Amino acid sequence: MTRGGMATGRSGVDADMDAPGRSLVLGIGNILWADEGFGVRAVEELHRRVVVPSGVTLMDGGTQGLYLVHHVSEADNLLVFDAIDYGLAPGTLTVVRGEEVPRFRGCRALSLHQTGFQDVLSAADLLGRVPRRLTLIGVQAGDLDTWGGSLTAAVRGCLDEALILARQELAAWGQPVTERERPLPAAAAGLLAPGLDVVSYEAVRPEPLAPVAAAEG
Amino acid sequence: MTTMQTPNGFALDTGGRRVVVDPVTRIEGHLRLEVNVDDDNVIRNAVSTGTMWRGLELILRGRDPRDAWAFTQRICGVCTGTHALTSVRAVEDALGIAIPANANIIRNIMQLAQYVQDHLVHFYHLHALDWVDVVSALKADPKATSALAQSISPWPLSSPGYFRDLQGRLRRFVESGQLGPFRNAYWGHVAYRLPPEANLMAVAHYLEALDFQKEIVKIHTIFGGKNPHPNWLVGGVPCPINLDGTGAVGAVNMERLNMVASIIDQSITFIDQVYIPDLLAIAGFYKDWLYGGGLASRSLLAYGDMPARANDYSADSLMLPRGAIIDGDLSTVHEVDLKDPDQIQEFVAHSWYAYDDESQGLHPFDGVTEPHFALGPNTKGDPSTRIRELDEAAKYSWLKAPRWRGHAMEVGPLARFVIGYAQGKPAFKEPVEAALRHLDVPVTALFSALGRTAARGLECQWAAHRLKESYDALIANLKAGDLSTANTDLWDPTSWPKTARGAGFTEAPRGALGHWVEIERGRIRNYQCVVPTTWNGSPRDPAGNIGAYEAALLDTPLADPEKPLEVLRTIHSFDPCLACSTHVMSEDGQEKATVVVR
């Protein structure tokens, strides 16, 4: 289910833009908090499936808050994946573009310093450099409270569609991606540190707290 | 009975009006402060409540200890590198892994770079606006601002035209109604003391610092392979070095090392010519506002950091001081041992966790994290939707109460500087004395929010200069032919003992950070972290000792309890890694502060 174009400011498909410029595909959120990991997991999955053209950067932004400001201000085009809390059915995808993005909020302040993403955009604006084109692909989170949890089925179920939307957006920006012949294995994809890739992460469940089973070694 | 004396020497009065600074909906993940003010609006009781920790062991148990750093890096958006470093040290300590000299130097460079960036960003972007009135800057005379700037620093961006342009930009920004990072402050509050010109200069440097900080993190990108979230490695650092290589990928080469050298030089210049002059200029207007000391004049703790010699974590080897000061006795700096079960203990009598015996503390090796949310009988409001007032006589925080030999302690830059000062170390004593002389204030002025903020600035300068030395040491080592950056002898878990445990420590920019790990058959059995904000934001312990935030807020007069700028100033001076609760999201995505006075 997609609620695309819920609000369109500057369109992402203006034909009269200059060369594509630098694009940043940024996943934000905390992978340790269940559906809040959507943004990072979406970028991880995109990286496993496609090769991006030069000029496009895929970034796991985590909860870096204000420390993302220079990455944002150096981008001509910014595509953000984030979990949102907008009272929709869990797993509902929403695409927001242009000037509507700063008004849209993620479900949890981006960093523990409470720098919401709109503050990162404002800070970029203060520096006099905001991306020309801005798109947020948000998903309504279901579970934001399970510490150590992973994406819920509803949110995981819309990853494919979110990635299709991202491919379309990059293509509209003149930077179409190339599909890999087969997806990179999660543990070898390299976007996330060892143990944090989605497969390794989910292989050890945080509960129940049973005694450690005899492991290798 | 509303008055009492705490064992650690503070008088509390729980009468009067209660002022609550609160994120409203979720307690977890936030810091909430409740203070009682008397008829003169002076704070007579303070209650700090918060959480960040949901028990890391819940996530790490059963995982590969070599991956633990990556998980700990995700807990906090601001201490990422420091958590990672602490984690690899804990695992190396458990398994007896020695790291090469280059790895030690590179880790020090990573950590020092973190200090420079973190302190700079804290001062300008997370704290300055407690002292600087942005809206007042619109009234400044650019010419007078230029004269002010040129009187305190040779920094070249100081012409009248520069400040005029900047003021215009600021005016357009404010008039657009889009205050962004500047919204939600108490502009025009009587507690702001800077003249418009000093405000304009500070705002200019706010923007310059925001722009400059990106250079510093390039050091993390070079040695950590990427940023955000640079890579770390148990046994060393993950970057191979090949001095003769070329290009921006592959092993670190001379081209990229030269870039590191250049960033270090720029950092030193920025701190010497912008940060420190600004700090002293701003402090000069507030030198009689010396509230916010709390535990700073009494009990301070530092683990120390940045070993001069690889694998030597003794106090003697550490560039940042290590030790504990108790009850204000600067003549004795006590030894600190993270593994001594009698030293560091965590209590939960006033925390939302359960122990079998809550009159006792537990050393982190024996740490238990069993959530137990329960409110005291004097809680006001609806516990399930909106707590109006917590009952601090019962459990009231998601933070445990860490204690050192039973004492509540302050950690952070001021603790490090006071300990270094007490040890007579010139690297800490001399800059402190110079700053005190410059401001013409006595040494007791250090024990304040301002002193904490000043110590952080001096430490940023210290770190930038140590970066240069560490870089030179690295180059000397490399040129002597030692290119080793990792020891993989014990990488394979089959080479490990069946059980092992270890402790790792760093000084995070905001204070002492410890990780304790227990490994069993190649997997993590238990993992405990005690973080700086748990020390500083600690609730009361079973004996009734109050924590550092709580102590620091006492006796502070509020000009207007509806706008508790003074509370923010003091709490922000600690650089809390919990969200400070004045920024709260409303449903339309705007942030708003909630302050309730009852």
Distance from CA of B3 to the nearest CA of A (A): 34
Asked if pLDDT for residue B314 goes beyond 70, the answer is yes
Residues B155 and B167: their CA atoms lie apart, in Å, by 18
Asked if pLDDT for residue A84 goes beyond 80, the answer is yes
Asked if pLDDT for residue A94 goes beyond 50, the answer is yes
Taking only residues 336 to 365 of chain B, the set having a beta carbon closer than 8 angstroms to any beta carbon of chain A reads: none
Fold classification of A2-203 is Rossmann fold (3.40.50)
Which of A32, A70, A195 is facing B67, going by the closest CB pair?
A195
Give the count of Cβ contacts less than 8 A between chain A and B.
160
Contact B302, B321 (CB under 8 A): yes
Burial environment of residue B132 by CB neighbours within 10 A (0 to 12, 13 to 18, 19 or more):
buried
Distance from CA of B445 to the nearest CA of A (A): 28
Residues B447 and B417: their CA atoms lie apart, in Å, by 11
**Complex ipTM, two decimals?**
0.89
Among B125, B126, B531, pick the best mutation site for testing chain A contact (most A Cβ within 10 A): B125
Over the stretch B89-115, which tens digit does the pLDDT of each residue have?
999 999 999 999 999 999 999 999 999
Which of B229, B520, B522 is facing A62, going by the closest CB pair?
B229
Residues B153 and B272: their CA atoms lie apart, in Å, by 9
Which residues of chain A have a CB within 8 Å of the CB of B76? 63, 112
Q: Note the pLDDT of residue B593.
A: 40
The stretch B179-203 carries a mean pLDDT of 87
- Given an 8 Å threshold on Cβ–Cβ distance, is A148 in contact with B59? yes
Contact B309, B469 (CB under 8 A): no
Asked if pLDDT for residue B359 goes beyond 80, the answer is yes
Amino acid at B197: E
Chain A residue with CA closest to B218: the answer is A70
Distance from CA of A16 to the nearest CA of B (A): 27
Which of A111, A122, A147 is facing B181, going by the closest CB pair?
A122
Residues B501 and B92: their CA atoms lie apart, in Å, by 10
Asked if pLDDT for residue A215 goes beyond 90, the answer is no
Residue A105 pLDDT class (50, 70, 90 cuts): low
| DSSP letters spanning A93-121 | EEEEEGGGGGG--BSS-SSTT---HHHHH
- Given an 8 Å threshold on Cβ–Cβ distance, is A193 in contact with B578? no
Q: Note the pLDDT of residue A40.
A: 95
Interface contact B71, partner A, CB < 8 A: yes
Among A204, A205, A209, A216, pick the best mutation site for testing chain B contact (most B Cβ within 10 A): A204
Chain B residue with CA closest to A64: the answer is B77
Asked if pLDDT for residue B432 goes beyond 70, the answer is yes
Q: Note the pLDDT of residue A185.
A: 94
Contact A150, A192 (CB under 8 A): no
Which residues of chain B have a CB within 8 Å of the CB of A121? 180
Highest mean pLDDT: which of B9-18, B178-187, B567-576?
B9-18
Among B24, B52, B59, pick the best mutation site for testing chain A contact (most A Cβ within 10 A): B59
- At residue B525, φ and ψ (nearest 5 deg) are -95, -40
Q: Which residue has the tokens 């950092």?
A: B267
- Mean confidence (pLDDT) of chain B: 91
Asked if pLDDT for residue A212 goes beyond 70, the answer is no
Nearest to B487 by CA among B340, B350, B311: B311
Residues A84 and A100: their CA atoms lie apart, in Å, by 14
Interface contact B368, partner A, CB < 8 A: no
Residues B451 and B457: their CA atoms lie apart, in Å, by 10
Which of A61, A109, A212 is facing B579, going by the closest CB pair?
A109
Q: Note the pLDDT of residue A217.
A: 26
Chain A residue with CA closest to B64: the answer is A195
Give CA torsion, residues B546, B552, B556, B558, to 10 deg. -100
Over the stretch A29-81, which tens digit does the pLDDT of each residue have?
889 888 989 999 999 999 999 999 999 999 999 888 778 899 999 999 999 99
Residues B565 and B45: their CA atoms lie apart, in Å, by 17
More reliable by pLDDT, B449 or B586: B449
Chain B residue with CA closest to A208: the answer is B58
Among A113, A144, A150, A192, pick the best mutation site for testing chain B contact (most B Cβ within 10 A): A113
Contact A137, A80 (CB under 8 A): yes
The pair of three-digit structure tokens given for residue B355, joined into one six-digit string: 């122990």
Over the stretch A132-182, which tens digit does the pLDDT of each residue have?
999 999 999 888 777 788 999 999 999 999 999 999 999 999 999 999 999
The pair of three-digit structure tokens given for residue A181, joined into one six-digit string: 């012949």
Q: Note the pLDDT of residue B12.
A: 97
The stretch B182-192 carries a mean pLDDT of 82
Radius of gyration of chain B (CA): 24
| DSSP letters spanning A48-111 | HHEEPPTTEEEEEEET-GGGGHHHHHT-SEEEEEEEE-SSS-TT-EEEEEGGGGGG--BSS-SS
Q: Note the pLDDT of residue A104.
A: 59
Q: Which residue has the tokens 């402060």?
A: B33
Asked if pLDDT for residue A7 goes beyond 90, the answer is no
The pair of three-digit structure tokens given for residue B99, joined into one six-digit string: 């790291």
Q: Note the pLDDT of residue A29.
A: 86
Asked if pLDDT for residue B45 goes beyond 70, the answer is yes
Residue B595 pLDDT class (50, 70, 90 cuts): low
Burial code (b: 16+ CB inside 10 Å, e: under 16) for B463-487 equals bbbbbeebbebbbebbeeeeeebbb
Query: What percent of chain A is predicted at pLDDT more than 70?
Result: 79
The pair of three-digit structure tokens given for residue B230, joined into one six-digit string: 């640079």
Nearest to A133 by CA among A47, A4, A18: A18
Residue B588 pLDDT class (50, 70, 90 cuts): very low
Maximum Cα–Cα distance across chain B: 75
Residue A188 pLDDT class (50, 70, 90 cuts): confident
The residue ranges of every structural domain in chain A are 2-203
Which of A116, A128, A207 is facing B591, going by the closest CB pair?
A116
Distance from CA of A165 to the nearest CA of B (A): 24
| CA distances to A69, A70, B218, B220, B405 from B228, in Å | 11, 11, 10, 9, 38
Q: Note the pLDDT of residue B123.
A: 95
3-state secondary structure of B188: coil
The stretch B413-423 carries a mean pLDDT of 98
Report the half-sphere exposure of A54 (CA within 13 A, side-chain side): 0
